Amino acid sequence: MKIKNYYCGHPGLSIENFFSNKTSNVYNWFNKNKIIYFHKARVAIKYLCDKIGVEPDDEILVPSYNCGSEIDPLYQTGAKLIVYNIKKDCSLDIKDLKNSISDKTKIIYVIHYYGFVHNLTDIVEVCKTKNIYLIEDCALSLFTKHDYKNVGCLGDAAIFSFPKTLPVPDGGALVANNHDLFSNNILLKKPGLKLFYKKLLPIIKSSILRWIVTKKINFLTILFKTKKYEKKREKTPDIPASYYYDQSLNNMKTSNLTKKLLKSFDYNDIVFKRRRNFLLFLEEFKNDIKIVPLFSSLKENVCPLNFPIFVNNREEINKKMLESNIATVSWWAGYYKNLNIEKFTETCCLKNNILALPIHHQLDVEDIKYISKKIKSLVSI
Ligand SMILES: Cc1ncc(COP(=O)(O)O)c(C=O)c1O
C-alpha cells in the first residue's frame, strides 16, 4: 500500500512557473482594466490617497476588522479615520457605516474578506450622491467574481495583493474604475534586492520542501527547521513592525520576477482547486460540533482565500499545526495601534479567535483530509 507523505505548508514554485505563459493567467483575468502594478497593495493605497488629494481635514471611513497594513497609508495622510463596525460573520454593519458618514467624508474604504464579497449596492449609491470615493480592498479576494464581473468593479478603485494567493515575492495592483485615478506616466521605481529576497526565501523553502515530500525523501526536511513560534501574550498585541507603511516604498513597482511569474498561474485551475478544498472542509466538519467555520456555504464565483474557523485556544492549536507542517495562520491577531477597536466586540471576537486553514491550489483531497483529522484532534469545545 502506498503511504502518502504530507506537506501542507505555503505554496511553492516549480521550474514550469519560470517558463510558461498560460491563457488564463493573472494579466488576462484583469483583462483590459486601467491597472497599475505596484510593489505591494499598500503602495497602491498611498498612491490613491495622493491622487485623490486627501487632506488632514478630511475623514476616511475604515472597517473595524482590518490587518493594519492597509490602514497605515490612510492614517499617514493626516486625515481623521472613523471606524465602522464589522459583524462577527464578517458582514458590513451598513447602519453603522451610513451613520458614520459626515460632510467631511472623503473615502469609504471597504475590505472584502477571505474572497467573499459584500453587497455594496447601497454604499455605491450613497457615495455617488455624496461625492465620496469608494475604495474596494480585494487583497484577500483575487479571482473572485461578483455577478460575473471581477471583484472590485463597483468602487472608484480596487486594490489587490498577489502574495496572499500566489507564490510570488511581491506585487500589488490598482484597478482604477474611475479613470481620473489612473495615470500612465508615473515614474515607478524598482524594488531593492533586500526587500525582494526576504520575501523570496520562504517561497524557495516551500518549493524545496514540497519537492522533497513528493520524492519521498522526507528525512531531508530536517535541513529546514520549523520557524520558532512566538506566542502573543498581550490582550491587544500590536501588529508586526513591518506592517506599518514605509514612505520609501512610494511609487515602487512589481519586481520583474513576479511580473514573469504572473503569466504562469492558471486562474481557472486555482479557483477550481481552492473551491474544491473549501467544500471538502465544509463536508468534513458538517457533523462536528467542535469546529465552527466562519462561512457555512460557498457562493458561486467566490475564490476563497482560506478556510477560517473560530477556536478558543488559538495560539496553542496554531503552534501544533505549524509543527505538523500545516500552514495555519492566527489571522490578523495584531491590533493596529492608531485605531481603538476594543468597543467593537464582534470584531474583537474575529481578531482573537480566527484560525485560517490552508486551501491553496497545491493541496489535494488527501491533504485536506489530513488537515481535517489533525484539527479535529486538537480542537475541544
Ligand atoms: C486586507 C488587506 N489589504 C491590504 C494589505 C496590504 O497588502 P500588501 O502587503 O501587498 O501591501 C493587506 C496585507 O496583509 C491586507 O490584509
User: 275 and 137: one domain?
Assistant: no
pLDDT category, 180, cuts 50, 70, 90? very high
Chain position carrying cell 471583484: 151
CA of 297 to the centre of ligand 1 (A): 25
Residue 187 lies in a domain: no
**Higher pLDDT pick, 278 / 220:** 278
User: 40 and 158: one domain?
Assistant: yes
pLDDT for position 185: 87
pLDDT at 92 over 90: yes
Percentage above 90 pLDDT, the chain: 86
DSSP secondary structure string, 87-126? -TTS-B-HHHHHHT--TTEEEEEEE-GGGPPP--HHHHHH
Alpha carbon of 348 to those of 64, 227, 244, 258, 313: distances in Å?
A: 9, 27, 20, 35, 15
C-alpha cell at 322: 505549524
CA distance 286 to 309: 13
CA of 161 to the centre of ligand 1 (A): 6
- Give the number of domains in the chain: 2
User: 238 and 157: one domain?
Assistant: no
Determine if ligand 1 sits within 6 Å of the CB of residue 42.
yes
Residue 19 lies in a domain: no
pLDDT for position 366: 96
The string of pLDDT tens digits covering residues 344-353 is 999 999 999 9
pLDDT category, 147, cuts 50, 70, 90? confident
CA of 180 to the centre of ligand 1 (A): 24
For residues 238-264, give the mean pLDDT.
96
Residue 186 lies in a domain: no
User: 327 and 212: one domain?
Assistant: yes
pLDDT category, 225, cuts 50, 70, 90? low
The string of pLDDT tens digits covering residues 295-308 is 999 999 999 999 99
CA of 36 to the centre of ligand 1 (A): 16
CA distance 305 to 214: 24
Determine if ligand 1 sits within 6 Å of the CB of residue 311.
no
CA of 160 to the centre of ligand 1 (A): 8
The string of pLDDT tens digits covering residues 307-343 is 999 999 999 999 999 999 999 999 999 999 999 999 9
Cβ atoms 182, 150 nearer than 8 A: no
Atom of ligand 1 nearest to the CA of 172: 10
The string of pLDDT tens digits covering residues 16-64 is 999 999 999 999 999 877 999 999 999 999 999 999 999 999 999 999 9
Atom of ligand 1 nearest to the CA of 113: 1
Residue 259 lies in a domain: no
CA of 213 to the centre of ligand 1 (A): 31
Determine if ligand 1 sits within 6 Å of the CB of residue 72.
no
CA distance 327 to 218: 18
pLDDT at 223 over 70: no
User: 296 and 225: one domain?
Assistant: yes
The CATH code of the domain that includes 135 is: 3.40.640.10
Atom of ligand 1 nearest to the CA of 39: 10
DSSP 3-state assignment of 158?
strand
DSSP secondary structure string, 243-287? GS--GGGTTBBPPHHHHHHTTT--HHHHHHHHHHHHHHHHHHHTT
User: 286 and 175: one domain?
Assistant: no
Residue 197 lies in a domain: yes
pLDDT for position 2: 53
Residue 298 lies in a domain: yes
Determine if ligand 1 sits within 6 Å of the CB of residue 174.
no
CA distance 201 to 227: 13
pLDDT for position 277: 98
Cβ atoms 350, 86 nearer than 8 A: yes
The string of pLDDT tens digits covering residues 96-146 is 999 999 999 999 999 999 999 999 999 999 999 999 999 999 999 999 998
User: 177 and 202: one domain?
Assistant: no
Alpha carbon of 74 to those of 279, 340, 376: distances in Å?
A: 36, 15, 40
User: 155 and 222: one domain?
Assistant: no
CA distance 108 to 338: 18
Q: What is the domain range of residue 338?
A: 193-246+266-378
Cβ atoms 368, 284 nearer than 8 A: yes
CA of 66 to the centre of ligand 1 (A): 9
User: 164 and 313: one domain?
Assistant: no
User: 83 and 221: one domain?
Assistant: no
User: 204 and 352: one domain?
Assistant: yes
CA distance 179 to 156: 8
Determine if ligand 1 sits within 6 Å of the CB of residue 69.
yes
Determine if ligand 1 sits within 6 Å of the CB of residue 111.
yes
pLDDT at 1 over 60: no
pLDDT category, 173, cuts 50, 70, 90? very high
pLDDT at 155 over 90: yes
pLDDT for position 256: 95
pLDDT category, 194, cuts 50, 70, 90? confident
pLDDT for position 291: 96
